[in-house]
Structure 1
């Protein structure tokens, strides 16, 4: 596993290289290190504002990461007009480099620290998912988990049950003002929220166990939703009651 000193050195090297790249007109540190919440395990998150072709800049920087930093693999995560290229370096160090057009180089949340350049003002849009979306994903995942059990697709059913549990956690985080994505706020939830979710874990890939776990997860969704919208919770509970095995 990477050491902190090496990680920090690589981040500083990347920022210095960015400052010497004519196509990079701005750079920022994002993620946990932007708000002084990084720890021993935090990865490298930076964003570059690019003047000119994103594809050309990404190609050059990709060659650089493989040549000078021994990158093992990379993949892309588009986000609006930007593309986040995610690299894996030796010692399991993840490096996320966002490439944004110069005109849209700027923060989309509080985790941002400008290193150089002139970022555009943040948008007023809230990047957090809405409760409506989280609820919708919840009933969607419940329905598809149930269908997979009917089809005897055990692994797919297990996947949907886990995804449904994730929406319950996200709804609880949203209600209590914690981060909702990737379970980043789950460790902040009180035990009375998380303890009942132990029953939602799938212990075996068979119809009886998957059905038990699914019903427990649906009950957790209904209980969480009842705290914010009792009427919708009741309507969903009525719909869920029609889901029977067989």
Structure 2
């Protein structure tokens, strides 16, 4: 895998290329590198403010990154605005997440932001997940895990059990005001939350094991629901128990 020197050299090349590109009028780091909390394994997240057509800048930079770094793959995410997040894989497993955004949308949407050049503009902050939606996903996933068990679909049942655990972790992070995306706050959860989750792991695809894991996951979910929304937990707990 990549070395820190290789990653840092790549970052320096990106900055130099942006400074030399007349269509780029702003450059910022996001992610852990912006707040000084990155480590040896951190990837590179940057935002480019584009003057003119964003699509043209994306095409030009993509060609340059393939030529300069021998990129192996790229794929896109939406930004919630009119920009594009293009994710690149470079040799050595260097990951680049580059947001191309129109100049008016250049600005922090969260605490992880460091401007290197350009003028950021005030932007709406990324909202946290809606708690009611997370709870809805939780009972949905529990129900479908049980249905898959009744149908004898072991792989699909395991999928829904794991997905239910993900919603439980998100709900606990919401309650404790921890990062929710990609389980980034999971390692900060207290032991009383995470210790019971060890029993929710699916150890085999046998029917008894899947039913055991589902019961453990539903039990942990009900406990978290009671802390997050006691009134709703009182309504849902008897129904969740039916699935165990």
Superposition TM-score, scaled by structure 2 size: 0.95
Task: Give distance in 2, aligned partners of 1:207 and 1:192.
Answer: 28
Q: Which residue of 1 aligns with 2:59?
A: 59
- SS, match of residue 49 in structure 1: strand
Q: Distance in 1 between the 2:209 and 2:174 partners?
A: 30
Deviations 1:55-90 (A, max 9, x none): 211111111111111111111111212221111111
**2:122 is the counterpart of 1:121:** yes
Query: What residue is the counterpart of 1:87 in the other structure?
Result: 88
8 Å CA contact 1:46–1:97 kept in 2: the answer is yes
**What root-mean-square deviation, in Å, do the aligned CA atoms of Structure 1 and Structure 2 show?**
1.4
2:142 touches 2:243 (CA, 8 Å); kept in 1?
no
Structure 1 unaligned blocks of 5 or more:
none
Look up the SS of the partner of 1:203 in the other structure. Answer: coil
Q: Contact 1:173/1:180 (CA < 8 Å) preserved in 2?
A: yes
Does the 8 Å CA contact 2:148/2:157 hold for their aligned counterparts?
Answer: yes
Q: After alignment, is 146-155 or 163-172 more displaced?
A: 146-155
SS at match of 2:42: coil
Q: Within 5 A, what are the aligned runs for 1:1-246?
A: 1-81=1-81, 82-123=83-124, 125-243=125-243
SS in 2 for 1:80: coil
Conserved? CA contact 1:74–1:88, under 8 Å: yes
2-structure distance, mates of 1:241, 1:146: 11
Per mean C-alpha deviation after superposition, the further-off stretch among 29-38 and 94-103 is 94-103
Q: Distance in 2 between matches of 1:35 and 1:153?
A: 45
Q: CA separation in 2, counterparts of 1:201 and 1:90?
A: 33
| 1:241 match: secondary structure | helix
**2-structure distance, mates of 1:206, 1:139:** 23
Determine if contact 2:109/2:123 at 8 Å carries over to the other structure. Answer: yes
Question: Helix, strand or coil for the counterpart of 1:144?
Answer: helix
Do the aligned partners of 1:200 and 1:214 also contact (CA within 8 Å) in 2? yes
Aligned length: 243
Distance (whole Å) between structure 2 residues aligned to residue 55 and residue 27 of structure 1:
17
Whole-angstrom distance in 1 between the partners of 2:150 and 2:79? 36
Paired with 1:210 and 1:98, the residues of 2 have a C-alpha distance of 41
Q: Distance in 1 between matches of 2:84 and 2:144?
A: 31
Contact 1:108 1:127 (C-alpha < 8 Å) held by counterparts: no
- C-alpha separation in 2, matches of 1:235 and 1:50: 51
